[in-house]
Amino acid sequence: MPRNSSQKGFTLIETLIYSLLISFIIGTSLVAVYQILSSSNSLSAKTVTEQEAAFIAAKIKWALNDISAINSPAVNSSSSSLSVNKNGYPPPLILTLSGNDFTITKSGVPLIVNSSRVIVSGLSFELERTTVGAVNTDVVTALFYVDGKKYEIKRFLR
């Protein structure tokens, strides 16, 4: 049926269809934005975990540089802490786990190394000694978990 010139505008069906289209576009846009923000937060958390683990690994390597003695663990054994005499620092320098925090104790004062955003667990140190001829080579292996992800460091000492 042809329209009169006085009946200009949208019909009820057209209005409903356009409303549904606009709602669909806005809804999918919101879902897309939510997914982008969620993946960004997840990626940020993984980055924090990796950075914290790298920092702890660097501190362990630093503690094993320029040392005069390893107090614990004993040779060919493992321990949950590492105690060394580091040249230039009052002995001993102790690396251990205190709750969910990796700590370095220097001059009897424990310092927390990691941030509160991560959980450090399962810290262990192993000291292995191999002798070839008259040369002793010590290998210190450090194993720890940051937010459930395993990290391992090996350091060769002479």
H-helix or E-strand containing 3? none
Q: What is the number of domains present in the chain?
A: 1
Q: How many Cβ atoms sit within 10 Å of the Cβ of residue 79?
A: 16
17 occurs within a structural domain: no
18 occurs within a structural domain: no
pLDDT tens figures, 29-59: 999 999 888 888 778 889 999 999 999 999 9
51 occurs within a structural domain: yes
Q: Which amino acid is present at 24?
A: F
* Structural domain harbouring 49: 40-157
Average pLDDT over residues 66-81: 95
pLDDT tens figures, 104-115: 999 999 999 999
For 21-69, give the DSSP string. HHHHHHHHHHHHHHHHHHHHHHHHHHHHHHHHHHHHHHHHHHHHSSEEE
